[in-house]
Structure 1
Amino acid sequence: MARWVLHVDLDQFIAAVEVLRRPELRGRPVVVGGDGDPAKRGVVSTASYEARAYGVHSGLPLRTAARRCPDAVFLPVDREHYEAVSDQVMAALRSFGVVVEVLGWDEAFLAVDGDPEAMAREIRDRVRAATRLECSVGIGENKLQAKLATGFGKPAGIFRLTGETWFEVLGDRPADALWGIGTKTAKRLGDLGISTVGELAAAEPVVLAEAVGPTIGPWLVRLAQGRDDSPVSDAPHVPRSCGRETTYQHDLDDWRDVRREVAQLARRVAQDVADDGRNAARVIVKVRFAPFITQTHGRTLDTPVTEAHRIEEAALAALDMFTRRRPVRLLGVRAEFVR
């Protein structure tokens, strides 16, 4: 195994790519999301650092972003262009001849030996030369440490986090500072009197197993201790699911319209399942009620299928599990593949 893991993360990737195309926007608050019209419904895909200073962040409704930062420049999402630039970034990383695990458009892990800081500096230079984009690099003894280190290096910096410095850097930080712990899990831990990384690391795995589950409990303790034995792998990513969703510019008030839209989305997902050549084992329906309340329900299939009518039936059965009949602003259907 390589001695070090490096996590490379492009700084404000989508916004930075857009600024490269429009240099006159440099230094201005830029928000990318939807079709670029903040008067329409949609969410922020990314925001420049200048926009983030106003409280604009990924996942925020575009209308809210416009209220928080009325002087922002709003741009539409251009997936094909971002993918093309991402390919250039990943090619630059692979040019080092080491194992590269791609996490998405804008981040990847590398397994390296030798001087990790020197490698990190060379990575930043090659990415900049290939794309004119800046990146931050986290250095760790495992993927968890490297991933968290990157946040301390932003923007355009390098930071090393190891088992020796883990608690010095993270011990007093809230538990949800850890990669993999969200607000819900943090709240459950808070109910147990655990609020910091250090407190979670000192918790008894058996106690947590009883409180949050026999697998999740001990895993949370290992996470808080900075332990991670997952290897850096360049195996192609195999998606666990595929889905489609639509945000409606006007609320769907009639549940018959909701059923019709879910059926249509399910048929599109069924085509994606067939194109992928794998079987769907479970179908999940997401409903976002006005103003912004999101719920999901799922239906497990008796046997894995690819047939469109079976996936549509499962989606409608999942929809029937919703008891609310409030106006709907977003619908989504997702099929989970057999694992």
Structure 2
Amino acid sequence: MSQLPQRRIAHLDMDAFYASVELLRYPELRGTPVVIGGRSNHQPVLRPDGTRAFSLLRDYAGRGVVTTSTYEARALGVFSAMGMMKAAALAPDAVLLPTDFDSYRRYSRLFKAAVAAIAPHIEDRGIDEIYIDLSDHPDETRVLAQRIKDAVRDATGLSCSIGVAPNKLLAKICSDLEKPNGLTVVSLDDVPQRIWPLPVRKVNGIGPKASARLISLGIETVGQLAAAQPTLLQDHFGLNTAQWLRDVSHGQDSRPVVTSSEPKGISRETTFERDLHARHDRTALSEIFTRLCTRLSEDLTRKGYAGRTVGIKLRYADFRTVTRDVTLPLPTADAATIRRAAGECLRRVPLDQRLRLLGVRVSALVPLEEANQPSMGQQGELFPA
């Protein structure tokens, strides 16, 4: 029996994408800590001598959250979804810039078009990352991956990191191993040496809570997870999750690269770095929720869909999950409309416990050109006191 050829799946992740786009606009900030986000307008001011004056994080007042940060700011402990005031305590001299999603979307289109010209079998995973099936491409793997990286830089002026592996799971892990501007290629034979020493949280799908639970069982690395007794994992995670944990720890993943499909629904969700309370962390949650709705709207528009059913997903600190949805009179891809409908769903669930995950979904999809999308007006409070 002939052996099936091994797949070559690449995961391409733009390096600190939003921040890198801003550094193209403000090259004098290269090499310095820069934080993007917050509620207020922090546009740089042009001085009479032609130089620019930038706002500093120490001067920020409010309860906004960080959208992203440069690697220099990350080295100081500032990461996305962190509260701005906490970030200011860690990096008071970091430059603060507002977000510019129009620019980020434009550069996203540019880098994806550059990749498609070389390797067209692409699965779009968001504004700054894609999977690419390279299995049928004639070029040698490293040569091809470098061609793609060079094409992205030529088209955008930005760097990206690429991981190439036999499946999507390993490719995504590897794209993060040598950031920024990394190129990592692994085979299944490399899993014990390259993957097993990594912390379990490096596996996509093992969030902070699951990682903490594994660590409490003495399982800190992927290798320790691979060696764990199946009964131990089943007792603490259930049969299905235990089997998934076993599979991923051995680098096994059969998911295809989906280049085109008719989705039943499109969703965005995030697992928090720490559990958040609907009342005590109200401002941060509202900003995260708005960002989820905005990015979901962007996903819908980019993929050419609108939907009538808007839903939410909440996971509490005790891992209980609840969902709610509402069906609108007309399909929509509008961010404000999605946010308003999702807010209605939120009011139908208890918000007296801490939350570890928040998600938004739009389903009952139709092609965007068939949709009539009236706006539902201003955004309201989503996390009442």
TM normalised by structure 1 equals: 0.76
**Cα deviations by residue, 1:67-96 (Å, 9 ceiling, x for unpaired):** 211221111111111001100010001111
1:186 aligns with 2:211: yes
**Cα deviations by residue, 1:223-254 (Å, 9 ceiling, x for unpaired):** 111111101111268453479xxxxxxxx99x
Tell me the equivalent position of 1:76. Answer: 98
| Aligned mate of 1:129, from 151, 154, 166 | 154
* Amino acid of the structure 1 residue aligned with 2:203: L
Rounded to whole Å, the distance in 2 between the matches of 1:9 and 1:176 is 18
Tell me the equivalent position of 2:81. Answer: 59
| Aligned mate of 1:169, from 189, 194, 198 | 194
Tell me the equivalent position of 1:91. Answer: 113
- Segments of 5+ residues of structure 1 without an aligned counterpart are 244-251, 288-292, 327-331
* Amino acid of the structure 1 residue aligned with 2:257: V
| Aligned mate of 2:347, from 316, 326, 329 | 316
Tell me the equivalent position of 1:248. Answer: none
Rounded to whole Å, the distance in 2 between the matches of 1:208 and 1:299 is 26
1:140 aligns with 2:165: yes
Do the aligned residues in 1 keep the contact of 2:324 with 2:346 (CA within 8 Å)?
A: no
Alignment of 1:250-265 (within 5 A): none
**Cα deviations by residue, 1:111-169 (Å, 9 ceiling, x for unpaired):** 11341100111011111110110111111111111111112221112111221111112
Tell me the equivalent position of 2:274. Answer: none
Do the aligned residues in 1 keep the contact of 2:307 with 2:364 (CA within 8 Å)?
A: no
* Amino acid of the structure 2 residue aligned with 1:121: Q
User: How many percent of aligned residue pairs carry the same amino acid?
Assistant: 34
Tell me the equivalent position of 1:290. Answer: none
In structure 2, the CA distance between the partners of 1:311 and 1:22, relative to structure 1 (3 Å rule), is: closer
Rounded to whole Å, the distance in 2 between the matches of 1:222 and 1:338 is 33
Tell me the equivalent position of 1:246. Answer: none
Alignment of 1:6-85 (within 5 A): 6-34=10-38, 35=40, 38-85=60-107
Tell me the equivalent position of 1:150. Answer: 175
* Amino acid of the structure 1 residue aligned with 2:253: D
Do the aligned residues in 2 keep the contact of 1:284 with 1:315 (CA within 8 Å)?
A: no
Do the aligned residues in 2 keep the contact of 1:150 with 1:159 (CA within 8 Å)?
A: yes
Do the aligned residues in 2 keep the contact of 1:6 with 1:116 (CA within 8 Å)?
A: no
Quote the offset at 1:218 in angstroms. Answer: 0.2
**Cα deviations by residue, 1:242-273 (Å, 9 ceiling, x for unpaired):** 79xxxxxxxx99xxxx9xx9xxx9xx99xx89
In the comparison of the two structures, how many residue pairs are matched? 303
Quote the offset at 1:10 in angstroms. Answer: 1.1
Do the aligned residues in 2 keep the contact of 1:101 with 1:234 (CA within 8 Å)?
A: yes
Quote the offset at 1:283 in angstroms. Answer: 4.3
Rounded to whole Å, the distance in 1 between the matches of 2:79 and 2:224 is 29
Do the aligned residues in 1 keep the contact of 2:166 with 2:187 (CA within 8 Å)?
A: yes
Rounded to whole Å, the distance in 2 between the matches of 1:109 and 1:17 is 21
Do the aligned residues in 1 keep the contact of 2:6 with 2:166 (CA within 8 Å)?
A: no
- Segments of 5+ residues of structure 2 without an aligned counterpart are 43-59, 270-277, 330-336, 366-385
1:279 aligns with 2:305: no
In angstroms, what is the RMSD of aligned CA positions? 3.8
Rounded to whole Å, the distance in 2 between the matches of 1:333 and 1:187 is 21
* Amino acid of the structure 1 residue aligned with 2:19: A
Rounded to whole Å, the distance in 2 between the matches of 1:27 and 1:174 is 28
Quote the offset at 1:7 in angstroms. Answer: 1.3
TM normalised by structure 2 equals: 0.68
Quote the offset at 1:336 in angstroms. Answer: 5.9
Quote the offset at 1:40 in angstroms. Answer: 2.6
Alignment of 1:163-312 (within 5 A): 163-235=188-260, 238=263, 239-241=265-267, 276-280=306-310, 282-284=311-313, 298=322, 300=324, 305-306=327-328
Rounded to whole Å, the distance in 2 between the matches of 1:333 and 1:151 is 24
* Amino acid of the structure 2 residue aligned with 1:278: R
